[in-house]
Structure 1
Amino acid sequence: MDKINVILKKNQRMKKTITLILTFSALILGAFIAVIITFNDKDVDQGKATSQLFEANTPFYPSHWMDYQRAYPHDYIKPESYISAMREASVQKNGSRDLRLDWEFEGPTNIGGRITDLAIHPSDLNTIYVAAASGGVLKTTDLGNTWVNTFTEASTISIGAVAIDPNNPEVLYAGTGEANASSYSFIGDGIYKTTNGGDTWENIGLNASAYIGRILVDYSNSENVFIAACGNLFSIGGERGIYRSQNGGVDWEQILFVNDSTSGVDLVQHPEDPEILYAAMWERKRGLNSRDSFGDGSGIWKSTDGGDTWEEMTNGVPTGSNVGR
């Protein structure tokens, strides 16, 4: 009888132990699920806020349905997901290159795509680089008689700007993503750099900038590189404004930010005083069926200390909510 009581007590203790373990496990699982739901809700709430901001009081169009299918469950397309998909597609394309058919161009020859920027070799005027809105970076060494696309290995071929180092013409920078706010400008995945005249390119950052309006290499110090970054067209935030690298693109710092929907779209350096810079800022945002190409954030800014500090120029230039690019 005593043995039976001992066995029963052991069974009861074991049941309590198992019950405690199951209860504790359920609590941990519940907390984990709650955290996941919280983060997902934040993403969804952010997407809804963006959607409501750009699409309020607009009718429902077929384009909405196409967009929502691709954005679900976040209600907006996450730029990092888009960039990841572009890079995966590039890997697949390059991996299957030997299996592709050879194509021969048959025309038409009376139309052309958008050219967003040019860079000319400072000592060899026969060498020119052309940035195409949806065609990569093309290079000619015979003043345009023949062209070679140097940007075939990158994950995106939409180029917004290209710049050549005036002190070392083998070094060039290309900013991906066309800065013109057309019906849909293809976004890029940051800044690329070549040190061999375009033979190879390397991505060096600002991956969330989406569109690049201008690249400026300091003629007095090639380590100083300035970027006018637009940020995402269809959502606020992201990497936008004026950025500077002081080590040839290894690191980047934001040196001018106006607001979360204002782009840095152009840059110029004083030809005699490299410390003087001018930046054009453009407030713009797009929805599926809405477009704002102006705002209080648009304007011209000036720096007299190489980009450390900036002051908006308001004397004699347009200001206000109706100012565009």
Structure 2
Amino acid sequence: MESTALRVGAVKRAVTCYHRPVVRQAGHFMQRRAFASSTTTEDSFDAAEPIHFSSDRNQFSKRSTSVEAPQHRGRIDLARLRVVPHSPSYFTSAPQYTDDLLHLSALLRRHHLLPVLPPGQAPRVAWKTIDQYKTETAEPVRVKEYSAILTLLKRLNYIHPSLLPAEVLETLQKYKRDVQPHLNQAKPILVDEYGCARAVGRRKSSNVRVTVVEGDGQCMINGRSLTNYFGRLHDRESALWALKSTERLDKYNVWAVASGGGTTGQAEAMTLGVAKALMAHEPALKPALRRAGCVARDPRRVERKKPGKLKARKMPAWVKR
């Protein structure tokens, strides 16, 4: 019983010693904190001396501890001042982009009441790509951020050209590409003095130079006849599809020089070349050739095989397991 009472008493003394310092420290801290600041208002405050700006760097080369320092007290040396940025956007991650976005937004607010063109009739403009813009600004601009700029540019571009302000025109010119693709005019195909119309057709990696002249329906490709050059019936029909769709097979002769690619690519390239040369002889056939699919070039290409795959997309059998 005695040993048990001694152990209980020791535990109580230990708990008491553990809590006492905390109480003392807390009370002492609260006491000091209560009287930390003075509540008297007897002290008087004087206004600061006026500031005199000076650009003389040698005049303030010494510290205020020198003898001559008191006579220059209150003056500030401009050479030692911190340069304040021209724009608050300097402190952002993309200051140039932020300034451009704010400038375009301000222009739209000032001129949003001007008359605009009907939908779809705005002047065609090729704007700078995001890669070109990032190269000029040297800032990490995301696609979503650049889309906001393009939206404002397209809206400003809808303002009627006769009422377009000079500042808007100058700003739009800044974001246009140096070369506008839609302004490039294709060289017209003409019929020469010998009655020949020459054109070039391309498909995949095949190039075919075609000469079309009025005749009785002959066709020669690389010095060989059509049936001898193309073994497949589908390729023969594709090569002369422009003449067949317009019922002109027995009215024109065709000479072609083909290079590159395979037989299918050369046949489809010849389709485009024959259609271009045929429109030089008869421009009124363009709607019919367009409906037949002979005017526009087919941009599709074969998808190449990827490493680790059997074909372009087919995975090996062991991967599917």
TM over 0.5, shorter chain: no
Give me the TM-score of the superposition, normalised by structure 2.
Answer: 0.18
Q: Which of the two has greater strand per residue?
A: 1
Give me the TM-score of the superposition, normalised by structure 1.
Answer: 0.18
Larger Rg: 2
Q: Which of the two has greater helix per residue?
A: 2
